[in-house]
Chains A and B, each alone.
Chain A
Amino acid sequence: MSPPTAVHASSAIELLDDPVALRRHTRQVAGADGKPLSESSLRISGMHCAACAGVIESALTGVEGVTAAGVSAASERARVCWDPQRTRMSSIVRAVQQAGYGAVPDVAVHAREQRRQQERQALWRLFVAAFCAMQVMMLATPSYVSGPGELSPDMSRLLNWGGWVLSWPVLIFACGPFFEAAWRSITQRSIGMEVPVSLGILVTFVASSGATFDPGGPFGFEVYFDSLTMFVSFLLGARWLELRARHRAVQALEDTVLGMPESAARVDDTGREQRVPVEHLRVGDTVRVLMGESVPADGVLLDDAAELSEALLTGESTPLAKRAGDPLVAGSVNVGAPMHMRVERVGDDTRMASIVALMREALTQRPAAARLADRWAKPFLWAVLVLAAVAGMAWAVIEPSRAVWVVVSVLIVTCPCALSLAAPAAMLAAAGRLAREGVLLQRLDALEALARVTTVYLDKTGTVTDEHLQVADVHMHAGVEADRSAPLNLVMSARALASWSRHPLARAVAASGQLAAGTSTSMSEEGTWTSVHEEPGQGLEARSHDGGLWRLGSAAWVGGVGSQSADQARLWFGSAGHALLGWSFAEALRADARATVNAMHLQGLKAVLLSGDQAPRVEAIARQLGVDGWCAGLTPQGKLDEVATAQGRGCCVAMVGDGVNDAPVLARADVSFAMGQGAVMARSQADFVVLSGRLDAVVQAHQLARRCMRIVKQNTWWALGYNVAAVPLALAGMLPPWAAGLGMACSSLWVVANALRLSAGQSVPDVRLRLQLARGGA
Chain B
Amino acid sequence: MEVLYLLIPMSAVLVLLILGIFGWAVHRGQFEDLEREGLRILEPEEEGVDGSQRAADQIGKKSP
- List residues of A whose CB falls within 8 A of some B CB: 32, 49-51, 53-54, 57-58, 61, 68-70, 72-75, 79, 81, 116, 120, 123-124, 127-128, 131-132, 135, 139, 155, 158-159, 161-162, 165-166, 169
Contacts and interface: CB of A to CB of B under 8 A. Distances in A.
Give the residue among B18, B33, B64 with the most A Cβ atoms within 10 A.
B33
B16 interface: yes
A116 B19 CA distance: 20
B49 interface: no
Contacts of A72: 32-33, 36
A134 to B, nearest CB: 9
| A-B residue pairs, 8 tightest by C-beta | A50-B35, A54-B43, A68-B61, A50-B36, A74-B33, A162-B8, A165-B12, A72-B33
A124 B9 contact: no
A24 B61 CA distance: 23
Interface residues of B, number: 34
Interface string B1-36: 100110011011001101100110011010111111
A155 B22 contact: no
B9 to A, nearest CB: 7
21 contacts: A32-B57, A53-B33, A53-B36, A54-B40, A68-B58, A68-B62, A70-B61, A70-B63, A74-B33, A74-B36, A75-B32, A75-B33, A79-B64, A81-B61, A120-B26, A120-B29, A124-B22, A127-B23, A135-B11, A159-B8, A161-B8
A127 B22 contact: yes
B22 to A, nearest CB: 5
A131 B26 contact: no
A74 B32 contact: yes
A112 to B, nearest CB: 12
Contact of B18 (A57, A120, A123, A131): A131
Contact of A74 (B12, B34, B43): B34
Contact of A123 (B26, B40, B57, B63): B26
Contact of B39 (A54, A70, A155): A54
Contacts of B29: 116, 120
B32 A131 contact: no
A69 B38 CA distance: 19
Given A120-B26, A127-B19, A73 B33 contact: yes
Interface of B: 1, 4-5, 8-9, 11-12, 15-16, 18-19, 22-23, 26-27, 29, 31-36, 38-40, 42-43, 46, 57-58, 61-64
B58 A166 contact: no
A75 B32 CA distance: 8
A81 B62 CA distance: 11
A128 B8 contact: no
Contacts of B57: 32
Given A50-B39, A72-B32, A155-B4, A162 B58 contact: no
B26 A162 contact: no
B8 A139 contact: yes
B15 A131 contact: yes
Given A74-B32, A166-B12, A169-B19, 16 more contacts: A50-B33, A50-B39, A54-B40, A68-B61, A69-B62, A70-B61, A70-B63, A72-B32, A74-B33, A74-B35, A74-B36, A75-B32, A124-B23, A124-B26, A128-B22, A132-B15
Contacts of A124: 22-23, 26-27
A120 B36 contact: no
B14 to A, nearest CB: 9
Contacts of A162: 8-9, 11-12
Contacts of A169: 16, 19
A70 B33 CA distance: 11
Contacts of B8: 139, 158-159, 161-162
Contacts of A58: 46
Contacts of B39: 49-51, 54
Contacts of A61: 58
A376 to B, nearest CB: 37
A161 B7 CA distance: 13
A72 B26 CA distance: 15
